[in-house]
Structure 1
């Protein structure tokens, strides 16, 4: 049994380490809410990049903490307004390579076929439908989906579909070559 939401103490360097957050978010399939100390810095962006889905100041009240947990458990994120300015400041000082868009990330790590499969996953197609569309076996599609999830550090087809929403594949769905 795993927790739906894990709360991590952002003042503890060991616990708030990006690798720890990533391990919890990916391996344990648990959403991470990071409680940050008053002095917010580049850790906000690193925590979000590692997989945290919520940032809340440590001095937040019980009601705010409960509200954040409920939102995260319902599949949403939570970013306290106090974290926005440090997040923007950090992002503004990142070089282009560090601030890749989802489109860039897909282009850098996925093969052409994996992009096609991801596009169809984003359209809500089943493995069988994708296999028929691309004239490959269903097992081949499963392999591609598995590789996409691994390369993009996603936990499910739903996350993959959300990742492509409003991205290159959403606009280019009709231009993906069909091999009928």
Structure 2
């Protein structure tokens, strides 16, 4: 898969998610491609984004337009564990769906439950909160979830996390 990485000097995931949504609206990215965030550690910690148009997509056109927009663009992904924001079916994952529906509607390959050895039953209900961020793990797009009220699951990543030490 051909991948481009954009380093816009972002410091948080919310800004990176917004940048990917902007790219989806402004660039010729097919619905079968991916847009991911990646945490870069080291001397200059930041969040970069990667774009992988659908195979046969217009990678050269996307690269040229990103450069024309003033972005630093490099070839390849910064790592193999990107957090997927843009992927086939992401916009359809709203409300409460069964695990089976999540897998059939989207590019997600597997649903995992924190603390559980096996996979959830296909009929298990997932309350999405309209915020489903899966992550690449060993070549699979995996949605990590956690148990919630009434035998349901919720995505591990919540849309509005409480900042650490918010009550201090």
TM-score greater than 0.5 by the shorter chain: no
Which structure has more relative contact order (CA 8 Å, sep 6+)? It is 2
Higher strand content, 1 or 2: 2
Q: Whose radius of gyration is greater, 1 or 2?
A: 1
TM-score range, shorter chain: under 0.3
